[in-house]
Amino acid sequence: MPDIPYDVWECVASYIPDEYLKELYSLNSAFFHASMAARYRTVKLERYTNLKVIEHLRDSDISKLVRRIEFHYHWLFNRIIAGILRAQFSAMSEMLPYLNDIQDISVFWGTVKVPVEFFASLWNAFGPNLKKLAIDAPLPKLIRMLASHPTFLSLEDLELVIHEGENVTTQDGALDEGYIHRCFSPTIHRLKMTSYYLDLSNIFSLLPCFINLGVLHVAMVTLSDPTALANILTQHAHTLKDVALKEIALTKQPDQWMRRFFGEHVNEHTLPLSNLQSLSLIPAHLPFNVLEPCLRRSSDTLTSLTLLNNRLTYDQLEVVVTIFSHARLLKKLHVYVFTITPETFDLLASELSGLARLILIYSDIIGLSGSAHINTSHHSQLEQCRLLRREVSQKRYPQWKLQDITVSQRPKGVQFGLREWSVMTAVAKATPSVRSLAGQGNMEVPEEYHHIYFDEV
């Protein structure tokens, strides 16, 4: 076989997943370099990391490949492990001068004691040039990581997940949010914040004016001052394209900060929403009539919409579909509905013909047309699924441009069983454009459900 040019081998290697590419270093020189890059692009430190892995970074041919560092230290079992961690951080501190192009740092922390001096050295070495930073930690651990008051002058992507921990206060009894505030650079384009504990109102009020903030995802248990969040959205309305708001409900009586936020700002027309392309709303509980004005004001530009936690009736789904049918821009719809019926797909196919991806979370299946409001509790779910599959399979939606269909009864941790695969394959049979089931990028069905392609459920 004649020699194949080096760049062709490089191209081939680019299509091989890293977990396989790492083992192909002995094929030829092109694969050697690609394999080494896959092996050392990310250095992952955890309690089982061998010190020899860290020592390899002394080799300049290896250290120059490293772009990302991950820290995974969730919990501590005994003093022996604590000693191992001290040795790891001591060795890693010595390696920092050998790493000269770190652009991405992720920290996943638990109850382990924070090595304050190490993090001070880490931020001093890479903070000014860092592009992406993610920290998932209890609040007191986060404060200690940032005790050296680092600056991140070039940060473009920041993700913070704040968990509960022992109280961290200043001498006057107040939390010093300045530690966290220093993470925020005006250069940030993508900002994601999740708090299971801390009220983010004060932090929101301290945020700078971002030059090009395009993505804002916020998930919180409580927010005492909705105005602080509204000011961020208003101030960056000209650049924001993707907004996600989630209300975390840790108790049976959640704070309902989203209800206050919508009532005081969104539905009073004080908040500009006309430039958004992606909107995700996941309240603990919010009446549909409170959500509806927001949807109408953003319908001319949205290409992606997620509405979860609030289950929609067929009539409410019809309102949503009607709102977005005139612009015909919506490409992705992710909603939670009470029931799936044959009319559900008739409605979506006729009114949202340009929809490319559909994710339906459901509570119930009703299999016969015209029975959306009929009590069918005496029928088993399997029988209802059989009826729906039979009817939908006989339909045709040639005008629908749907490419991926996902159906699940579980909003969290999507799982697919006989009913889900039955409905998804029925929609695929009726829609020629479908090329993917369950978001997997192909039409494969688990072997135990192959029979539904050809037989009734």
pLDDT reported for residue 308: 92
Digit-coded pLDDT (tens) for 258-310: 999 998 888 776 677 778 999 999 998 889 999 998 899 899 999 999 999 88
DSSP character string of 17-46? -HHHHTT-TTS-HHHHHHHHHHHHSEEEEE
pLDDT score of 172 more than 50: no
DSSP per residue, 62-86: HHTT--EEEEEE-----HHHHHHHH
Higher pLDDT, 124 or 381: 124
Amino acid identity, position 392: V
CATH number for the domain that contains residue 397:
3.80.10
* Structural domain contains residue 93: no
List pLDDT tens digits, range 320-356.
Answer: 999 999 888 999 999 999 999 999 999 999 999 999 9
Question: CA-to-CA distance for 445 and 438, rounded, in angstroms?
Answer: 9
Instruction: Output the pTM of the full model.
Output: 0.86
Q: What's the pLDDT at 264?
A: 86
Phi, psi for residue 135 in degrees, rounded to 5: -130, 125
Number of domains the chain is built from: 2
d(CA 243, CA 215): 6
Residue 264, in any domain of the structure: no
Other CB atoms within 10 Å distance of the CB of residue 327: 13
Summarised one tens digit per residue, pLDDT across range 176-204 is 566 787 789 999 999 999 999 889 998 99
DSSP character string of 165-221: -S----TTS---THHHHTT--TT-SEEEEEESS---HHHHHH----SS--EEEEEES
User: Is 265 in a helix, a strand, or coil?
Assistant: helix
What is the number of alpha carbons within 13 Å of residue 49 lying toward its C-beta? 22
% of the chain at pLDDT higher than 70: 82
Query: Tell me: the pLDDT tens digits for 405-454?
Result: 999 987 665 678 888 999 999 999 999 999 999 999 898 888 888 776 55
- Residue 251 inside a domain? The answer is no
Task: Using the predicted structure, report yes or no on whether residue 455 has a pLDDT greater than 50.
Answer: yes
Residue 443 in any domain: the answer is yes
Question: Is 77 a member of any domain?
Answer: no
The answer to the question of residue 398 being in a domain is yes
- Inter-residue contact 95 to 54 (CB < 8 Å): yes
Give CA–CA dist 340/407, Å, rounded. Answer: 10
| Burial (0-12, 13-18, 19+ Cβ within 10 Å), 426 | buried
Structure tokens at 180: 């966290």
Quickly state the pLDDT bin for 4 (edges 50, 70, 90): low
The kind and range of the H/E element at 373 are: none
Instruction: Tell me, yes or no, whether 148 lies in a domain.
Output: no
Q: Round to whole Å and give the CA distance between 168 and 166.
A: 6
Q: What is the mean pLDDT of the chain?
A: 85
* First-to-last C-alpha distance (Å) of the chain: 52
Is a pLDDT exceeding 50 seen at residue 381? yes
pLDDT, one tens digit per residue, over 34-59 is 666 767 788 888 877 778 888 888 88
Cα distance between residue 296 and residue 281, in whole Å? 14
Q: Which domain holds residue 411?
A: 303-457
Gap between the Cα atoms of 220 and 161, Å rounded: 10
Amino acid at the residue 260: R
Q: Is position 107 within any domain?
A: no
